[in-house]
Chains A and B, each alone.
Chain A
């Protein structure tokens, strides 16, 4: 207890009564709003004035160049400069198809467009839980469909894969019913491997020569522009999901060896920059495959991007697993469920749902990071700027292409981040313990 006499010397205790303040001024209407939100005190007023001047100065310089004096239709940069003094967005309009599709054959533009639309249909049941669950089957088949639409070729190769999976399920069911569930899994895996490496190719080739149904094949080298961005980004994120789940479960596992391998993989991938992994894709990956095997560069890049995304995905899902209330695990154990039963029926469905905003954020990051592939020579939007700039018509274009590309990225990423925020709010039902 401090001395009561000393209290009088404490400066923060007022010794005299404060004067009465005047009644507050009007708090309604635009004037009052401005006064309260922009000119509340001296510092506020100062900041408002400084920033207003800044914004006006920038806009004053930018708007004539960017909009009013800009040229949207011309054949070359020289023609642009003759028409007006502003930006020459004609390069974007004349090369629009190249920026979006790269060198994809113009006759088949409908294929990537259809794939793009179907992508939303496939993602809808995952991102909205009030849609019929049957749609999930379409989501599962979508990767094959997308592969078929984008790369073309005979339909039999992709078509036989669901057939194979259905047969594998049949094998599992019959063996597990008659012998043992573990043996059933083993038999199904063995069947898949045998089918895939021995039967699949010959069968699809026979079918293709017997019934040549399919689309004109388009090789990866023709892919470019935002098509590449979407192909690499979406494939990377979708393919990384199962690997990420496996890694996250492995990291939480009681088995020391499994945990060590998973932690090692995750920390290694997260510890190195994506660009070094892309260098591996462009210069090293072929050395790791059996002699004589070659993938084309886009597939190699997709493999490395998938591994990269998987490590980040694992951390997102680990967060989802950790956020799950302890009681859920305990309740599953109390019901006597096995590890896989509780994981499949209780843990993962909830953990994945909680992770969706994180997954979307990972996707945004990955979507932006796909621009790095331009450094290893893939003609993504940034990579394709250079061939466009080195043509005689557009030699000397500087700002217009990056502005357009940046704008497209901004719109895509902004919409996705808003969606992830919306989903987060929707999930936050407030009755978690």
Chain B
């Protein structure tokens, strides 16, 4: 009898926590849940990490918070799910997370074959190589015979194979699961080279005790447009992510920051600013949100530039230059569609 009771009790306890979500309207589900679920990486310095209190911080979580703020007016209405290169797409496809903000390269097969919708690129990246200065290597073409640490399950693995094949060079791949592991192996000199997105390399190098002992090689062997993504087939939800990101970039372009957003909304006479901050038009309602969606998103963590500066910019320990990720009118290629 006792065992029967146990079985029933456990079965029911497990079933009681099933939550059904109709995948057709993610926004309705998210609103019903009262929070959004966001997939991030398991830890890349600057891009996603947990602080002492266990809260997720970084460039990627900041975008999730902005989207949550756009929906709920509350940047805390988001739950983070750490995903590895292996689990990220399943987590999104199965509805475990509502969006993925996790250093994910937009590719044809991910868009068309795996059926995801990519928002605009939020970080333009490319695959680079990091080596010890003491090796005296100046070009990736000198890497014949080298031992290379590489994260599996990423596009970098395929790019590397192609690059070395194209240049008729041999190498010894050391596959690893995570950035932390790669760092450990590389520092212990278990591999000569660490290759991943250049931003990740810079972030990793910045965390070293002696960053100056390591150099990034000039070759960038691939294009890695990193973008947040959601499931195919829910355009409304994809639009919310897309336009939240666009709002953050436009805010930087228009000089709207977290600090002056309220003030600008009340006093600015520029039509573009007034449209962006919801003083004019009803873009929010058309998205299925409130008209204060964009100002909430901006106030959550600042505009694109502020987020960049706070987590990965030159003044942080990570010290990434804006480079390609400058605004289009400042020499970069960050070019957000206007709110109109």
- Residues of chain A having any CB pair with chain B under 8 Å: 78, 98, 102-103, 136, 139-141, 143-144, 147, 151, 157-158, 161-162, 165, 192, 196, 200, 219, 221-222, 235, 238-239, 241-243, 245, 282-283, 286-287, 290-297, 299, 302-303, 375-377, 379, 386-387, 389-392, 395-396, 398
Q: How large is the interface on B (under 10, 10 to 19, 20 to 34, 35 or more residues)?
A: 35 or more
* B13 lies within 8 A of A140 (CB): no
**A377-B83 contact, Cβ under 8 Å, with A139-B2, A386-B178:** yes
Nearest opposing residue in chain B for A290, CB measure: B20
* B180 lies within 8 A of A143 (CB): no
Task: Pick the contact of B54: A103, A165, A235, A396 (CB < 8 A).
Answer: A103
B167 within 8 A of A: no
Knowing that A283-B87, A293-B18, A390-B183 touch, tell me 6 more A-B residue pairs with CB under 8 angstroms.
A102-B54, A143-B6, A162-B9, A294-B20, A387-B50, A387-B82
Q: B159 — which chain A residues lie within 8 A by C-beta?
A: none
Q: A147 — which chain B residues lie within 8 A by C-beta?
A: 13
Q: In the docked arrangement, what's the CA distance between A297 and B90, Å?
A: 11
Q: In the docked arrangement, what's the CA distance between A143 and B3, Å?
A: 12
Q: In the docked arrangement, what's the CA distance between A398 and B96, Å?
A: 33
Name 8 A/B residue pairs within 8 A (Cβ), A-sorted: A78-B209, A144-B13, A161-B8, A162-B9, A242-B6, A375-B177, A379-B82, A387-B43
* A294 lies within 8 A of B21 (CB): yes
Q: B259 — which chain A residues lie within 8 A by C-beta?
A: none
**A140-B2 contact, Cβ under 8 Å, with A157-B16, A283-B90:** yes
**A377-B19 contact, Cβ under 8 Å, with A241-B3, A297-B96, A396-B209:** no
- Residues of chain B having any CB pair with chain A under 8 Å: 2-23, 42-45, 49-50, 54, 79-84, 86-87, 90-91, 94-96, 177-181, 183-184, 187, 207-209, 317
Task: Pick the contact of A392: B3, B22, B45, B177 (CB < 8 A).
Answer: B45
Interface of chain A: mostly helix, strand, loop or mixed:
helix
Q: A386 — which chain B residues lie within 8 A by C-beta?
A: 42-43, 178, 180-181
CB A343 to nearest CB in B, in angstroms, measures 12
Q: In the docked arrangement, what's the CA distance between A389 and B182, Å?
A: 12
* B49 lies within 8 A of A387 (CB): yes
* A221 lies within 8 A of B12 (CB): no
Task: Name the residue in B2, B21, B179 with the highest tally of chain A Cβ atoms < 10 Å from its Cβ.
Answer: B2
CB A184 to nearest CB in B, in angstroms, measures 15
Q: In the docked arrangement, what's the CA distance between A157 and B42, Å?
A: 33
Q: In the docked arrangement, what's the CA distance between A314 and B181, Å?
A: 38
Q: In the docked arrangement, what's the CA distance between A107 and B263, Å?
A: 37
CB B88 to nearest CB in A, in angstroms, measures 9
Nearest opposing residue in chain B for A393, CB measure: B52
Q: In the docked arrangement, what's the CA distance between A287 and B94, Å?
A: 8
Q: In the docked arrangement, what's the CA distance between A389 and B184, Å?
A: 10
CB A279 to nearest CB in B, in angstroms, measures 9
